[in-house]
Amino acid sequence: MIYGENMRLALWAMAAVGLVIVPTAVVIQIGLPPEWTPALPATPDYAAGFAFPLVGAFLLAHQPKLKIAWLMYAGGMCSAICVLLSVLTNRAAADGDLTLAGALNNLAALPWTLGGVMLAVLVPLFAPDGRLPSPRWRPLVPIAVTGAVTQAFLFITAGKTRLPNPLAIDLFQPYHRVLYNAVYVLMVVCIVAALVSFTVRMRRADPVTRRQIAWPLFTFAGYVVCLLLGPNFWVLGALWTGLIPIAIMVSVLRYRLFGIDTVISHTIVAAGLITVVSAVYFGVGAVSSLLVSSYHQVAGLAAALFAGAFFQPLRRALQRLSDRVLYGRVGDPRLLADRLIQEVRQADPAGALGAVVAVVRDGLAVAGAAVEVLDGLRVDSGTVGEHPRAIDLVWHGEPVGRLLLGPCGPRRFAVSHDERVIATLLPYVADVAHAARMAADLQRSRERILAAREEERRRLRRDLHDGLGQTLGAMAMTINMARISISRSPGTADDLLQDLRTGMDAVAGDIRDLVYGLRPPALDDLGLTGAVASLGTETLPPVIKVEVVADELGELPAAVEVAAYRIVQEALTNVRRHAQAGKVLILLAREEEQLVVRIEDDGVGLPEHRRAGVGTASMRERAAELGGTCAIISPDSGGTLVEARLPAVAGQPARSS
């Protein structure tokens, strides 16, 4: 770990060196007198020396063994050193030290040619995976390197021009121009051959790799065109060269590094800030030094303040530009989340679910998206196709449905961007899906409550009419017969009275059953806490330890007490049947205007794929009937947790936590 961190620090330090060299050379070049100022203000070496070391170090920080990254860094550093040595050559010549200028000029030859061959031949030849397209391209490597070394040798041994050259070889002078042109043509052929190898690699690649190669090929082809058009197009080539390492970075990392769009976005913003703020700083500093030439500190302070004033507005503008470049019209995933929140606030649960699906489809640029909520509710936008990607929706540990995604359309940075959009929006989708499920459950619960109420009335009518009514009618007849028989046959009357007694006991039992069905008597006799404790002892076998923890609950609505009792009863029944638990904890607590009922066991937990049974639906319905909630989950610690939140004040709905 320490080695890896030290390696990354070393690589970024190396990148920083590359970033310093070229700007330093530019500053020195600005101060040159006209007779020693280069005819071209910039060549491709400037952009290569600035951009390639930075991108190469970034790639090496993530993949230290990547050959293409080492080539990019080494070639970029050679170009940067060549630029600095060339500018120092002109600076020494302008100061009158022609001997030093000639030595520096010769010293710049080798990094110039080696940087060119690495960046213009070897990088496209080995991009994007560090391997040659095929073994047939292997001879191009020694040919290009030999040509670069020969070119440097001919440059160093050239005869005297404006600068003295103690290394000149007179024997080569009659043939020097011909030899140099021949080597130059050879190098151009090698560069074009490298471009051809890139094209061959792309034609033979699969669709994914073809898209991976397309941008580096396009940018490198633009550079080759500027090179072939000659020095008049080198300034354009210099600007174009800066795009090549960025395209290669995308090519190498786009399908391997999650969040590469964020890195590129930050790179665009940082590069833009460095460029513009530096230009403003140096520009204001130059103007200030001209106006107040004897006050260098004032000039520097004015330049710093002026550049700082531009920093924040420029950063925001560059961020918007990078988002537009990377994501198109969709933009940052966080903006999608803000848009989704606004859509949800303006719609009911069913309409909010449709808005969520539309935002997800737009953000991912897919052919269709859909949300399937448990219990049958489904909302579609577009067409998801026959084999959509399915993502589970989980609300507080409880599965609530699935998000279905259709095939992707054309998108820049699809992989990383789509995963970030999904990660950002998925919690909101799960929340809305849960709300839609609760709304649908509530509607069904109300319908079932009305049906159950009518069914209960019908049952009571039938029980009272067919049971108690007939029994009481028979008892009345028995009393009449006993009155008639009591004077003539006391024994017969006694038998009739015994039958009457038995019938009265049966009537009392029927009435107790009716009363218990309406409200458990234990609630009136023992209170909610005592009734729950008694229920635990009666429902579970002795091997399962039951612990009841209860606060001072105060006065509760009768309907809330019944609902809490029935929920505990159903939960304990499930523990006895399925949990294989050794301990059950029942918690009754009052939190502000809510009654919290929690039943937790240490059993096997919920199955991975489960269907909500009658008991589970009954618990949710009892809570929903009162305006409360009931969640059933498997905690990370194991077992099963049933938590119901019921309104502790009549007419006040419970708030879900």
- Convert the pLDDT of each residue in 96-135 to its tens digit: 888 888 888 888 888 888 888 888 888 888 877 778 888 8
265 vs 131: CA distance, rounded Å: 28
Give me the domains of the chain, ranges plus CATH numbers. 2-257 (no CATH), 259-327 (no CATH), 333-436 (3.30.450.40), 447-518 (1.20.5), 526-647 (3.30.565.10)
Per-residue burial over 448-477, b if 16 or more Cβ lie within 10 Å, else e, is eeeeeeeeeeeeeeeeeeebeeeeeeebee
241 vs 251: CA distance, rounded Å: 16
Tokens 């679910």 identify what position? 353
594: left (phi over 0), alpha (psi -120 to 50) or beta: beta
Tell the burial category of 554 from Cβ atoms under 10 Å away from its Cβ (0-12, 13-18, 19+). exposed
The letter for the amino acid at 326 is L
pLDDT (0 to 100) of residue 586:
93
* 355: its two tokens: 């808005």
pLDDT (0 to 100) of residue 255:
43
* 36: its two tokens: 């020693």
Strand ranges in 86-221 using DSSP code E only, listed in sequence order: none
Q: Residue 193: pLDDT above 80?
A: yes
pLDDT (0 to 100) of residue 24:
86
Q: Residue 175: pLDDT above 80?
A: no
pLDDT (0 to 100) of residue 598:
93
pLDDT in tens, 343-353: 777 776 567 77
pLDDT in tens, 383-424: 888 888 888 888 877 888 888 888 766 544 454 456 667 777
pLDDT (0 to 100) of residue 420:
66
Q: Residue 148: pLDDT above 50?
A: yes
pTM > 0.75: no
When pLDDT is averaged across residues 222-234 and rounded to a whole number, the result is 74
Per-residue burial over 268-296, b if 16 or more Cβ lie within 10 Å, else e, is bbebbbeebbeebbbebbeebbeeeeeee
